[in-house]
Amino acid sequence: MEEFYNYLSDSLSKSEIDQLSKFLVEKRIGKGEILLQAGSVCNHSFFVEEGLLRSFSIDKQGKEHVIQFAPENWIISDRSSLLFQEPSEFFIDAVENTTLIMFDEEFVVKASELSAKYRSFNQKALNNHIRHQQRRINRLLSATAEERYLNFIQLYPNITLRVPQWMIASYLGITPESLSRVRKELARKNFIPG
Amino acid sequence: MEEFYNYLSDSLSKSEIDQLSKFLVEKRIGKGEILLQAGSVCNHSFFVEEGLLRSFSIDKQGKEHVIQFAPENWIISDRSSLLFQEPSEFFIDAVENTTLIMFDEEFVVKASELSAKYRSFNQKALNNHIRHQQRRINRLLSATAEERYLNFIQLYPNITLRVPQWMIASYLGITPESLSRVRKELARKNFIPG
DNA sequence: TTAATTTCTTATCATAGGTCAATGTGGCTA
DNA sequence: TAGCCACATTGACCTATGATAAGAAATTAA
């Protein structure tokens, strides 16, 4: 719980968080375990205390496409499914053994009632999410595979080292083979990662 | 103003809206006029009463990439720039002569203070935005040019007829030439639009 | 430690989509 | 009415990335 308390500490007092703690569930899951199945309604958000989660879709040809990675102190969920109570198009699973905090919309509602600070905090988080997605769309529209990869390792250096390359390829919208080629080409050009 | 009043009517009473009207500015702009310049901080959101706006980026090679279209009753802005007061990466301009309502964050703050309904309305709008973007990312990762085009005309039939094809191509992340070929192929396959 | 999986690389070939250049087409406007 | 301009189409060619297959390397399990 500690990380999550920390995460909230700017917007809620210790006693307020305690009040809300009945809406929180700590959970440990192993690598590969699934938290959300496409087709089912998402009822929780997941805050990562330790470990790494990811959301992804599976297309008609059975190919996975990574939508998001969530390392420590990140929140992951399917907000559309959550808010509109519609079946999710996405899966969420664990890339590593993970300790997480589950919370539902009731937590958000109660916290919002309790604290204006939390409201604006939450607001900011939503806007931040939009910002990330907007930039990603922009890059998918305009950048080459190599540019997208360079951008990725610069933006998420720690994730780069923790997930298999084929997942990064999937996030970038290319095949693992292509990513391997991109990396080879970068090595040839004397690119030093990090 | 009428459309905008209508848009808000579920979450704010007539008198509440009147109270807030001092934060609203109606504006008319001609086709091609620019509302937001990349590099400058975005201080307003734009509600389209009549007409059509669009946001786009320009990459290093000088190529435009359409991020979003906004026809009647849509809101467009750069939320990240707005909220974090950082220079925008995007332009917003008018695809058609447009009548719009400009409002700033003060409006949003005041409206939020006034009405819990507005707060959740706003919250929903943000989540809806995230949903749209998520689906778009998913499609950019997994669908072919043809699939993306079919999805577009199905999702935005009225926009399809109002904007030049090269803008749709830009939105889809392909060249106008490619879109032309996709359309030709669809015609060959006896695809009937609409 | 070996065996079994999973991941990564490499090579070859195939293809969607990009580039460039030419031509068409319709709507303005002078 | 002609001429212009933005937009759309077409064709020839090119390139980045996908598909497939095989082997190497790394991880995990036994």
Strand D nucleotides within 7 Å of a protein CB: 6-12, 16-21
Note the CA–C1' distance, B67 to D15, in angstroms.
Answer: 26
Our count of domains for chain B comes to 1
- Give phi and psi for B108, each to the nearest 5: -65, -45
CATH number at residue A37: 2.60.120.10
Q: How many CB atoms neighbour CB A158 within 10 A?
A: 10
Inside any domain, residue A10: yes
Q: What percent of chain A has pLDDT over 70?
A: 98
Secondary structure E strands in B37-154: 45-50, 53-58, 64-70, 75-76, 91-94, 98-103
Torsion of CA B138, B140, B145, B146, to 10 degrees: 20
pLDDT value of position B194: 45
- pLDDT, position B5: 95
Flag whether A132 is in a domain.
no
- Write the CB contacts of A24 (distance below 8 Å, at least 6 apart in sequence): A1, A4, A101, A102, A103, A107
C-alpha–C-alpha distance, residues B27 and B98, integer Å = 8
Q: How far is CA B165 from CA A112, B66, B153, in A?
A: 44, 12, 11
Nucleotide nearest to B181 (CA to C1'): D9
pLDDT-flagged residues of chain A (< 70): 192-194
Chain A contact set for B75 (CB, 8 A): none
**Domain assignment of residue B158, yes or no:** no
Residue A139 resides in a domain: no
Give a yes or no: residue A32 inside a domain.
Answer: yes
Q: In a structure prediction context, what are the per-residue pLDDT tens digits for chain B, which is 194 residues long?
A: 899 999 999 999 999 999 999 999 999 999 999 999 999 999 999 999 999 999 999 999 999 999 999 999 999 999 999 999 999 999 999 999 999 999 999 999 999 999 999 999 999 999 999 999 999 999 999 999 999 999 999 999 999 999 999 999 999 999 999 999 999 999 998 876 64
Query: A97 Cβ partners below 8 Å, 6+ apart?
Result: A28, A29, A30, A31, A51
Q: CA-to-CA distance for B111 and B23, rounded, in angstroms?
A: 10
Cα(B76)–Cα(B101) distance, integer angstroms: 11
Domain assignment of residue B156, yes or no? no
Q: Do B145 and B40 touch, CB atoms closer than 8 A?
A: no
Residue B61 lies in a domain: yes
Tell me if B45 sits within 8 A of B23, measured CB to CB: no
Q: Are A78 and A42 in contact (CB under 8 A)?
A: yes
Smallest CA–CA separation between B99 and chain A, in Å? Answer: 25
Question: Per-residue pLDDT tens for B63-116?
Answer: 999 999 999 999 999 999 999 999 999 999 999 999 999 999 999 999 999 999
The pLDDT, as a whole number, for residue A1 is: 83
* Residue B106 domain boundaries: 2-115
Q: Quick check: is A168 in a domain?
A: no
Encoding tokens for residue A7?
């995460």
Integer Cα distance of B11 and B17 in angstroms: 10
The residue to which tokens 């703050």 are assigned: B109
Q: Which chain B residues 154-173 have CB under 7 A to strand D?
A: 164-166
**With a 7 Å cutoff on the CB, does B179 touch strand D?**
yes
Residues B55 and B91 sit within 8 Å (Cβ to Cβ): yes
Buried b (16+ CB within 10 A) or exposed e, B39-71: eeebebbbbbbebbbbbbbeeeeeebbbbbbbb
